[in-house]
Structures are given as structure tokens and as C-alpha cells.
Structure 1
């Protein structure tokens, strides 16, 4: 198996197609051709695990600034975390999560934030993030907000900087609003 990094600076149409095919195993599309990456303005990079040249595990990394309760934060998040069904329960996702976490920490964000299904909370908690009580990640746009709570998703966070740790309670029981583009959520 080979770990590769896919960056927005060096796009590869063949690898993008493989990542989209892998994502299709978790989130089947309605037949429309989705671009990769979606919302390129927040896309930073992806880590892709290949087995015999085939994408079997992927984690995307996004970033954006966040203004929240009088403070501005540099936020990094995970997106499109997926392992091909034939390769699940082998620890590959955990290994990829460690790589992504280190990449994020190396970029010195204030916070790392994203959403996940309730059954994935323990996986991400083992990776260093925590579920934030009552937090709702709101993506989308001002005119078309895309709320994590309406999808039954849990907001996961890692507080990285001293400022973020000092204001940790400001993220509980509140909306965390990003302008990410229509139908976009991390």
C-alpha cells in the first residue's frame, strides 16, 4: 500500500476520478458528475491510500477563517473521510486520521472542526477530536444555511491554540457558522 498526497496545486484527473469513485461507495450520487474537490476555495489537500494503484482510503482537509463570538479563528477540518468497504476494520482509517491530524497541527490552526455521524464519534475521539455538547456546525451560505443538526450529525472539535482553549466553552450549545458555499459542510 502506498500513501499519497493530492494537492490543489498539482491536480491529477485520474486520481480525482478514483477519489470520487471511492466516495461513491459511501455516498452514492444521483448520477450527476460531481467535481473534485467540491468547494475548492476551502480545499487544502487530501491523503489517499492506494492498494495496487486503486484508491482505498481517503481523507480531505479543508480550512477557513471563522468569526465566532467576537473572536477570529483559523479553522481546519476533515471532509470526505472514507475507506472502501472491502478494506474497513483493518485500522487503515485510523492510520489516515493520524496523518491528517499531524498535517493539521503542523499548520498551527486555532481549531479543527467537522461533523460526523453519531456512530463515528468514538473513532474521531480516539484520533484526538471531541464531540462538543450542543454545538451545531452551520455551513452553506447566509441565504441557504446547511445545518448539521438537521442531518443528525455531531460537531467534532480539537482546540489547538491557547486562544481556542481559553474560549472552548464559547463553542458549546451554539451555532458555529461558516460560509462554505451552497450545500457545503465539513
Structure 2
């Protein structure tokens, strides 16, 4: 198996189709693709004949908080082919995505939310739960927060700046104005 990386706009048609099929099985009714304003990048684990085994997207945007603007990246649309789940392939891809973000000098932190039962999966890949933190997605005029009724979400992060303890403190127990727009309401 090999890892491939593309700007989402540059995904070959066959790979984009496979990703859309995997996402439709995982999240029926979802629309494939991300807002181009978030500079989406796709990471894929591909089997020997080009079959997509794991796919995930990395999204990027500045996030103002605590008197500064952080260069944030988020994980989105992490999906593993149904018949291959439980083998650690998704976890290895998430850990690799984290390592690549950590090595990127243009990224201060990774920040995203997930359903509470998935938190341990992401923690095993090196992310940490931020207790009491809420991501506020959508837009300022039409927000969607991870603590809205009916959600059971947690916020996870990894800090890559020169002062990760300061940044962890700034992002813990607060409402973070992520506002990625109406396409990727929460990433």
C-alpha cells in the first residue's frame, strides 16, 4: 500500500469517485468535496491496484483567538473502506497526517471535532481532547457549534508552535470561532 497526496482540485477522477463512494457509505446524503477557500488537501492510502483504502482531508484557515491569529489545520472526512476497518489502517493514516502537519512550518495547530466515541481513535494517533472547548462552525450569521443540542462532540488538537503550552491553554475550555463557512460547517 502507498500514501498519495493531492490538492483536492487535482484529484484524478477515478480516485475522486472512489472517495465519494466511501463517504456516501459512511455518511449517506453527504456531498463530496470541500470549500476551496479552506485549501483542501487529500491524503489517501491506496492498495496495490489503486483501490482507495483510507481517505482523509486536511483543511486550512486562520483562527483568531486570545489576541492572535493561529494558522489552523483540521482533519475532515476520515473514512476507511468498510471491509478493511479494524486493522489499524485509518489510525496509521491519521497519525501520518498529524506528523505531516507538525512538520509544516505554516501550521500552528491541528484542531477538529469528532463524535465522542471516536475520541480514543484520534488520541491514539497523537491528538488530545480539549476539555470544555467548543468549536463554533458555520458562519457568524449562521453558526453551528459542537455543543448544539443533539451533538455529542469533543474537540481535539495538536499544537506545533514554539509555545505549545501557551497555545493549549488558550484553546482549552473556550468557544473557538472556527467559522469555516456553509460548505464545511464543522470540520
TM-score by length of 1: 0.90
Give 2:25's aligned residue. Answer: 25
Superposed counterparts of 1:1-186, under 5 Å: 1-8=1-8, 10-29=10-29, 34=31, 36-51=32-47, 52-108=49-105, 109-150=107-148, 151-182=151-182, 184-186=185-187
Runs of 5+ in structure 2 lacking a partner? none
How many angstroms apart in 2 are the aligned matches of 1:53 and 1:11? 13
Shift of 1:50: 2.1
Instruction: Say whether the 8 Å CA contact 2:159–2:167 is kept in structure 1.
Output: no
How many angstroms apart in 2 are the aligned matches of 1:2 and 1:172? 36
Runs of 5+ in structure 1 lacking a partner? none
Instruction: Say whether the 8 Å CA contact 2:133–2:155 is kept in structure 1.
Output: yes
Shift of 1:11: 3.3
Cα root mean square deviation, aligned:
1.7
Deviates more, 1:116-125 or 1:38-47: 38-47
- Counting matched residue pairs gives 182
Deviates more, 1:163-172 or 1:81-90: 163-172
Instruction: Say whether the 8 Å CA contact 1:57–1:84 is kept in structure 2.
Output: yes
TM-score by length of 2: 0.89
How many angstroms apart in 2 are the aligned matches of 1:11 and 1:84? 18
Deviates more, 1:164-173 or 1:18-27: 164-173
